[in-house]
Amino acid sequence: MNQEKSDDELLKDVYKQLCERLSQKELEFVEKTPYSGTVAESSDDDDETDSDSPLPPDSYVAEIAKEFRRAIEIPDSMTPERRQTLLEYARLVQLPGMILDGQHRVYGAKLINEYDVRLPIVLLVDTDAAEQAFQFYVVNNKATKLTPTELRGTISTSLTSEEIQLLYTRFKQAGVSADSARWTHLLNNSESSPFVGLIDFGFQKGFLKENVMFQVVNQFMRPPRSLKSVYSSVLEWEDDDYRINLFYKFWATVKSVYPNAWANAVKDAGGQLLMKATMLTLQRYIFSQFAADMPKRSRRGQGSPIANAEEFEQSVKDELFYLPEEFFTRKWNRTDIDTSDGRAMLNEQITKVIQGQGRNIGNMQLFKSSKSDSAS
């Protein structure tokens, strides 16, 4: 009979298993020396990633591995509750197998004492994490489809960066359409993305909600037919990687045009520039301007501004030239921005500010207090 492992042995075994799954870049994130003494006294959040870390994690698995390293090397830095959570996780991943679908049947069978219950099963032997995620998606997407948020959350929390790439290769080989599920993962982890580490999947320290960022990137990647003139002549637009890189370029340009508004939004974990309504409205406004300019560009023999990354960047800057940074740093006095009417009003205000060449923005409706506000 095998002797049960001690808690320390269990933590070390699972830490080793996790590290074996990580890429070199993820290992660098995990194995660098981020800790100086016991951090329990200096940190209010035992799950916190070190603020002085120059490397963002490539995956949530890397975050988990780093926590295991911390629990092993400086156990006093962790609350007993958090250590217990890691131990429960360790015991789960050490189990000889898992049920991908049908747990409710097993739980139901356990309640029957009168006779033996036999359940038909499909047994998958020696499957790695990416294959398990693939099977989970395929099985659970048949009768009752997973929501996109559930799929993206499952993938992002259970796989390393390399395993995620293998999973999408597997999806393509099987003819399963799930490309959009990787977009927010790329936004949060790609070195080219201005949103690295800013997205909250429900467990990380980002402040931009994953479902919000999916709406933003989805609007960009799948623009409405009313904007077809902008992208229909650009053959590269059919390439998922081309579009996602243009998305990075778009928001990196916005970040460079409004550095203070961006920095303040990140520092305060929220700001007007990075509100959902703002991001959706800015994208829609600029692409609508591109569409309005297409007849003129066509007459001049010019192609679409999205056909070239450098021209795209300059075109975005041109459209934002008369929209001053003060527009995003000065307090808005409307509280209904994140509604269809609110976004329409925001689009109207952006249009008026630009038409007025950025002057006297304090007179705009967006910044004026309502009569009810004044009365109170």
**Res 140: pLDDT:** 57
Indicate the burial class of 225 (C-beta count within 10 angstroms; 0-12, 13-18, 19 or more): exposed
Q: 39 and 31 in contact (C-beta within 8 Å)?
A: no
pLDDT band at 145 (very low <50, low <70, confident <90, very high): low
Residue ranges in 161-275 assigned as alpha helix (H): 161-173, 183-189, 210-221, 228-231, 240-257, 259-267
The pLDDT > 70 percentage for the chain reads 77
On the question of pLDDT at 149 being above 90, the answer is: no
On the question of pLDDT at 41 being above 60, the answer is: no
The pLDDT > 90 percentage for the chain reads 39
d(CA 285, CA 305): 15
On the question of pLDDT at 52 being above 50, the answer is: no
On the question of pLDDT at 373 being above 50, the answer is: no
Tokens 């870390």 appear where? Answer: 53
On the question of pLDDT at 151 being above 70, the answer is: no
Phi-psi category of residue 197: left, alpha or beta, with phi > 0 → left and psi -120 to 50 → alpha: left
Tokens 């890397």 appear where? Answer: 62
Mean pLDDT of 67-89: 87
What single-letter amino acid sits at 110?
Answer: K
pLDDT band at 350 (very low <50, low <70, confident <90, very high): very high
Better pLDDT: 109 or 215: 215
On the question of pLDDT at 47 being above 50, the answer is: no
What is the model's pTM?
0.65
Nearest to 155 by CA among 165, 144, 146, 164: 164
**Res 54: pLDDT:** 41
